[in-house]
Structure formats: C-alpha cells, structure tokens
Chains A and B, each alone.
Chain A
Amino acid sequence: MYQHTRLNSNRFSFFQKFKNLDYLLLFCILLLGFISLTTMYSTDGGQILFHTKSHFIKLVTFTVMMLMISLINIRFWFLVGYLFYLSIIALLLWTYFFGIKSSGSQRWMDLYFINLQPSELMKICIIICLAKYFHRMKIENVNSVYTILTSLIIILLPMGLVIVQPDLGTALLIAISGLAVLWFAGINHKYFIYTILGFLISLPFIISFLKPYQKLRVLTFLNPDRDPLGAGYQIIQSKIAVGSGGIFGKGFLKGTQSYLEFLPEKHTDFIFTLFSEEFGFIGSTFLLIIYAIIIYRIVSIGAGSRSYFAKLFCYSFAAAIFVYITINMSMVLGLLPIVGSPLPIMSYGGSSMLATMIGFGVVLSAKVHNQQSIA
C-alpha cells in the first residue's frame, strides 16, 4: 500500500498538480496580499516607501515559495515533521543566546538579508510536529498519560523559550496552535475543561508573576481611560480610528487618525485599524469574509484529505489562523488586552508572513495530494 501510493503520487504530472490546486483559496490569498499591499501603501502616507516596498518583495517571494511548497508532496512534511520542530527549537536557542535585542526583547536572528523571528515559525511548526505525533497514534493511546505528557512537553518547550525572550503574546499563540492539534487529535474534553478551570483559578497567581508592563496592559484593557495618554493611548486611538470610519469609511488614503500619526504600530499589529478607518464597516466585513473563505477552504481541504495527518494539520491550522485573526481584531477593537499578535498576511513582518505562507503551502499541497494516504 505504501509502495503503491508513492508510485501513484510520482505519476502526477506537474500540469496535473497545478490543475489540482485550490484556486478559490489561492485567489483569496492573492486578494488578501493585494489588500495588504494597498493598506501598507496607505500607512506610508500614499507613497511607495520602505514598508510598501519591503512588504511587496516579501509577498512576492513568499507567494512563489508557497506555490513551490504546494507542489511538494504532503508526505515530505510528514517525514521532516520532527526534524523541522527540532531545528526551530535550535533556532530559538540560538536566538536566546545570540539573538538581536530590540525594544527590550530578544526575538530575532540576523540572517543578513532578513531578520528572522523563529518564534513565528514555531506557530506553524508545532502543528506539523504534533500532527505527525498523533498521526499513527492508536485511538486508545491518545488519552494515555504518556501521550499527554509528551505532547505537553512538545508545546511547553518552545513556549518556555519564547516566554524568556520575553514575548508572551507569541508564546500564547504557539500554545493555542498546539492545543488545537491536541483537541482535534481527540484528547478528552475534560482535560481541556480542567485546564481552563485551572487556568482561571491560577489567574491571580499568573498576574502576580507578570511583568509590570504586562500588568499595565491588563489594567488598561479593563479601563482604557485610566491613563489616556499613556498605556491606554493605543487602545483609545485605535477605537477612535475604527469608530470614526463609519459604514463606508473615510476613503483610501484619507484616514486622518493614521495619516496624522495618532495610530501606534500602524504597520504591524494595528494595521486592521487603519484599514477599517479608511474602508469602514463594509470594507472590514469584506476583509472578514475573505478570511472566512480562506478558513472555510482550509477546513474543506482537510475534510477532503485522505490522510489523517493532512486532516489534522488543516483543521488545526485553520483553527490557529482563526485564533490569530480573532485575537488581533479583538485587541484593536478593545475586546482583549493588547498582546503582540499580527494579523496574518496583512501585518508587516517577514517571519509571520513566512510562517503563514508555509502553512498555506502545506494546505495547498494537501489539496494537490489529497489522495495521498502517507502511511
């Protein structure tokens, strides 16, 4: 059977593989890329400046890379799953010792042409790794203590390395990505419920261990008007920008909040704010629909995949992407405290886009090779 499928897959011609691509998903990703590019152009004040150029180059490079990945057999990712995970762990360790320090945290490694943020890659890598781990697991073993402990270690190890950077936001997103896989793999509901309960109970203790600036963020979230020019500034200005956009928005390049520099971090975490200000409720909903279609397509590709690994990956990746979007939007709309979490594809930032594009690539590959059963 193993032999058979391998032969089968090798018989796919290049042309056939292209034909098998999910074009709706691809179209949505490209449309999203285009939107992000115009938004970036707007953050540069209607000029093609550094951010726009850089974003464009990354977008093109990573899209090409995504297409290349989609042509690689999904089995490849299954085979290199653990290796991929270990190499990212190694990169995280490298970052811990030799990384670039910037604004109080050490998250990047200097690759000369790009500053790579390994923790972003870990968000996708952990899904691949855990999907592989659970792929061949017998259903009765899934809830064994050994399995749970192993998978927890797989999640906690990179989390710990990211927390010490320190970057609580990304660490949480890595954990969520990992937990998504555990959920789909069939870990008993009660463990999740216990974890959530345990988390809620220990919340006061966790808060006491938070760094002062993180505590401030929580307090600010609870009451942004507490310090409107200090910690609450971002969230207040962000809400003003979104709210003042109205139904139809202020118009492309006419977002006064961003143009007049009231918006903080408008290239990265708060990019949705600018978009929302200029394109209003209609535009924001349109953007959400594009994201929804992307997620829907990823889920249906998962549903259509023969292999459990591909299914597990697609479902978990869809869930993770959804969580990233939700957290980012809730944050800029004042529903959650500010945690550093980029909006996939839209936000400026190479590593985040690289990770997302790898994820899309694997998903597309799952579609192309949906008859592949791996093992």
Chain B
Amino acid sequence: MINQSDNVVKLNSINRRMFIIGAAKIIILGGIVSRLFFLQVKENKKYLTLSDKNRIREWKLPPIRGDFQDYFGNTIAGNYEAYQLHIVPEEVEDFRYTINRVKDILELSDKQFQKILKKKKEKKPWETLIVADNLSWKNFSKINNHLYDLNGVKPIISISRNYPFKENYTHVLGYVSQANENDIISNKVIKDKFVQGLKVGKTGLEKSFETSLIGDNSIERYEVNAYGRRINQLAFQTGEKGKTIKLTIDTEIQKLANELLIDKAGSICVMDIFTGQIIAMHSSPSFDPNSFVFGISQDEWQLIRNDPMKPLVNKTLQGNYSPGSTIKPIVALSALENGIINTNFTVNCRGHENPLELYGQTYHCWKKEGHGFMNLRNAMKQSCDTYFYEVARKLGVDKLSETAKKFGLGKEVFGNLFSIEKKGLIPNTQWKKNALGQSWLLGETIITGIGQGYIQTTPIQLCLMTAQIGNGGFKIYPKLVIDNENKDEPVDKFIPLYKNSKNIKIIQDAMYASTNEPRGTSYRSRIDDLKYQFAGKTGTAQVKKITELDRELDLKTFEIPYEERDHALYVAFGPYKNPKYALSILVEHGGNGSTTAAPMAQKLFKLIIDRDSLRKSNEKNFLEI
C-alpha cells in the first residue's frame, strides 16, 4: 500500500515536471522557428546578396584605350592586335613538357625561360600565365602550327597600344606602360579599373588625359566555388572604348620638325597666333615610345637614360634656357610702352675697344668692331647688345619683367596640362630679395636686357610671346587638344596686351628688318616670296661666361667643346603681310642663332604656309559637324 501511494506521488511529480518541460519545449521551438523566420524571411535579401557575393565573382578585362588623332584625323596613338601566348597551368597535362616545347619553338633564352617559371610559381594553377605578350607573326603562326602538340596553350590576340609615328610624338603624347603601384595610388580611376596587365599613361598627354582615355572594363561574371575556382560563366558585359582625343598638331609639320632636329638636341614649336593651336611641338632627341608598351629592355633603357643629349627631357616644356637676344623685342616694346625711348633713340656702339663700363664691370657687344650709331630699328635688326644695355639700364628690370610676364613669360603656358612643364624665371628686384636675400644690381638689369643672367624661358613661352607680338599684341591661350564642346574660353582671351598698338607695329617692323633687310641677323634665311615671308629674331644664349681669353681667341663654334657652345635660338612669325603662325626654335649648343636656328625657320615656314589652306578647309569640315 505504501508502495502504491508512493507511486502516485512519484507519478504526480513526474507528470507535473513533464508539463513544465513540455511548456519549455514549446517556447524554445517557437524561438527556433522565429529565428528561422528572421533569417530566411526578414533578412533574406541581405543573405541572398551575401550568398551571391560568395558565389559570383567578376573578372575585369583591360579596357580598350581611346585613340589620339592629329588635326587631320590621322591616328597618332592607336591600338593594334598583339599576339600573345597564354597558358593555364592546371589545364596542361604535363606542364614541364609543354613549356619546354614552347621554349624550343619560340627559341626563348634561358633567362626568359626562368622568368616564366618564376611567374608561374607566384600564381594559382588555374590563373592565366602570360608566356609571351607580344609575339611576332612568324612565332605566332609557328605556335599555331604546333598546337596539336601543345595541349592547354592558348594563342590569344589582345589589344595593345601602338604609336605609328614612333619618335615624332613622344614628347607630346608620352607613352603607356604597365600600371604600377604609384599610378594606382595617385589616380582613383586607375584603381577602379585596374586589372593585371593594364597599361596606363606614364608621361605626356597619355598621362594628362588618362581618365578620358582609359575606357571601361569589359566584365566577365563567373560562378566560383569556395576556393575561387571558376565553375561557369554567367554573363559578359562589353566595356566601352576610351574617348578619342583630337590634337591640333599637323603630323607633316611635326615630322619636319623632327627631321630638322635630327642628331641635335633642341626644340621646335609652331603655333597658330589667333587660335593658339599648337601646330607642331617637338623636342629632340626623341625615342620610340612603342618600346615602353611591353616594358623596355634594360639595355635600351640605359641607352636612353645615359644619352648626353637627354632624350627623356621634353625641352619644349621642361627646358629653362636664357632667351638671349630673342628677348630684345620685349625689352624694346617695354621701353616704348613705358615712354623710356622712342624710335629715334640712338646709342653709339663702339666695339670691344670701348665697351660699356659700369662700376668697373665691362659689357661687350657681340660684334667686335661695334655697330656705330644705332636707332631702335637698326639695333633690333643687327641685334646690337650695347643698344639694349642702354635701353635696359634706362628701363629698369621691374618694368621689363612686367611686360615680359604680360606676354606669357615666367608661367606655365599649358597650365596644369603637363605636370612637368617649367615656369621659367622672369626676375625683378622683389624676386631677388625674396629668393636670394640680396638687392638687385644695375649690372644685372643690363645683362637681362640681352636675355642673359637670371632670366630663363622655355621654348614654348618664347613661341607664345612671338605669337602675341605677331597677332598685333592680343592675349591668346595655346592649346593642344580640340574640344568640340568649346567649353569656357578664358574671359581675357584676345584682350590687348599693349598700351599703344603703334608700339607693336614698331616691333613687328624691326623684326621684319632683322630677317628681310641686308645686315639683318637672319637675312640669309629670308624668303622673298610674300606668301611665305616671315619676320623673326635670332638669339644666341651663352652657356658660360665669356672670359677675356675667349674674346681674344674668338674661336669658331666647332672649335669649342660641345657642352660650352652657345644655344642657338630663333623666334619668328609669318607671313609678314598677314601673320598667321609663330614659331620658336632652339638648338642646344647649336652655336649661333642666325646660322643654326634661323635656316630651320625658312624650311618650316615653307611647309606651314603650304599646308595653311588645307588646314583652313579642314577647320570648315569640323565646323559643319
């Protein structure tokens, strides 16, 4: 009986407890169902996205880069089909055998072969290994003939940069090469579009217009597994080619500039004096940018880098040179504008026997015998230094620098377009105090008057200066790129830079005399045909100070060591009756402006004027568009 009642108590207890547990179970089960509901119904979208992110991976392909065209629509930087050889190691049965076969067929050197093996080690077996990125057609067809024997080897035709005019455009366009870490960090667009093997602009306009040129990646979308292996392709999205950029340059003139400067170091630029369009801009020596596209070989690179003529320097924009006598039109103009002199102002140049003396320093004219009595026109024509010493002394450096700056000297011509462009230097008393902490000396004013001393200009600045004298003294903005949108032209375009337009005429006339009248410094380079006739000013910039000994020896240019020879300069505009174009020529260590630089202008003007009508008709063409 006791047992019986005991059992009842026990049963009551167990059933009561079962009830508690049962209730707990229902609550917990409800909790699990609500968790399932939360994950699968409420948060479904989030997890679906995460799942797709897991499973879908996108592969970006290199975008197709936009072209560069010259003024007439010729492609000057385009794309061509490069023949490449890819291997996916995983898909090859016997990698050793295959790669050795490839080595034999392509006749790879051991060094190249080791490089490929090293690259292979750094990659996952299902990643594409690029064995050769630019095969010749001969090798490419050889590979194709042996494909039966080369399982898993893929001959691929890929798009690559090509510069058909080779060294002609190197300093304008720059070149492209493999994007490196620096490019990726400094440009967000490159970072976004980066893929293995992406080529980006390293210098020049290729760099400046990177974001427009680069284009959009094509995208392959694959389903992948947890180990990143592609399972199947889901989609292919074709990217858009980068923008085509049209330049103002005329390839024919650019080519002539290149020919004229061959084997010389120097720069030629030609500008339309009204629109500011650059017709030609060349720096010599140049190099073939195509060698950089697939990475330049060490030997070739050393050759370019160590060339004493410095092919890597864009002399047109980066070269700071003393302008020499090419500054004289500005000195004269400044003096006229400021009323310091008039056209009748005369100075007696008495040769080396009687140089100008100031505080114990002597200032010689270049002409040993002296020019005699010189007025402005004659002084410009014969480039009399003594005359300009006197004018500069009376003018003062501050007024001179004001005029020079107005005409575009002392600041970047292209603004921010080229990161490498130099500003040059137009000194004044304030500058010297700030930069050197010394006060300005009168002697420095005197040599500034003939473009020596602190003053430094780039060839493109001299070209702009000449263009603005040639067009009658109006401000222009040089440009290299034609943008059809014609977006915000600077408001001060075509504002007059003079106080009295007569003064500009005087300078133009003096430059005319310098080229087209006997005893003018560039008389021998003149063209009498009115259609081509141009007006210019020679310049000879001293590289080192002329000593008394030098003066006595009076050596010919070819007798002086190369590095000590003077730079030859020439600036000009034409045709004189109806000016349209201006140019500047600089030949490093070329000796003498009138003998080295000016004859080049003769050839250039001939071609420029001949092509002028073509250019004008082409201009109409795109106005109609």
Contact = CB atoms under 8 A, between A and B. Distances in A.
Contact of B40 (A247, A302, A312): A247
A243 B50 contact: yes
16 contacts: A184-B14, A186-B17, A237-B54, A240-B54, A243-B43, A243-B48, A244-B48, A244-B50, A244-B51, A247-B44, A256-B51, A262-B54, A315-B14, A326-B28, A326-B29, A333-B36
B23 interface: no
Nearest to B50: A240
Contact of A243 (B21, B33, B47): B47
Q: Which 10 A-B pairs have the closest CB atoms?
A: A243-B47, A244-B51, A260-B225, A281-B40, A261-B226, A186-B13, A243-B39, A244-B47, A246-B44, A262-B226
Interface in A260-319: 260-262, 276, 280-281, 284-285, 288, 292, 295, 299, 302-303, 308, 311-312, 315, 319
A239 B54 contact: no
A337 interface: no
B46 interface: yes
Interface of B: 6-7, 9-11, 13-15, 17-18, 21-22, 25, 28-29, 32-33, 35-37, 39-41, 43-44, 46-48, 50-51, 54-55, 223-227, 231
A337 B7 CA distance: 41
B21 A183 contact: yes
Contacts of B54: 237, 240, 256-257, 260, 262
Contacts of B28: 322, 326
A364 interface: no
B80 to A, nearest CB: 40
Given A243-B47, A257-B51, A295-B25, A333 B35 contact: yes
A260 B44 contact: no
Given A245-B40, A333-B36, 19 more contacts: A183-B21, A184-B17, A240-B50, A241-B51, A242-B40, A246-B40, A256-B223, A260-B224, A260-B225, A261-B227, A262-B55, A280-B40, A284-B36, A288-B36, A308-B11, A322-B25, A326-B28, A326-B29, A335-B32
B40 A243 contact: yes
Nearest to A256: B55
A4 interface: no
Contacts of B25: 295, 319, 322
Interface centre among A237, A308, A329 (most CB of B within 10 A): A329
A311 B18 CA distance: 10
A338 to B, nearest CB: 16
Contacts of B224: 260
A284 B40 contact: yes
A224 to B, nearest CB: 12
A311 B15 CA distance: 9
A211 interface: no
Given A260-B224, A326-B32, A315 B40 contact: no
Contacts of A322: 25, 28
A68 interface: no
B44 A138 contact: no
B32 A288 contact: yes
A57 interface: no
Nearest to B2: A138
Given A242-B36, A242-B47, A299 B225 contact: no
Interface string A228-243: 0000000001011111
Nearest to A329: B32
Contacts of A244: 44, 47-48, 50-51
A8 interface: no
Given A242-B39, A242-B47, A256-B51, A139 B33 contact: no
Nearest to A136: B3
A288 B33 contact: yes
Contacts of B43: 243
B36 A285 contact: yes
Contacts of A311: 11, 14
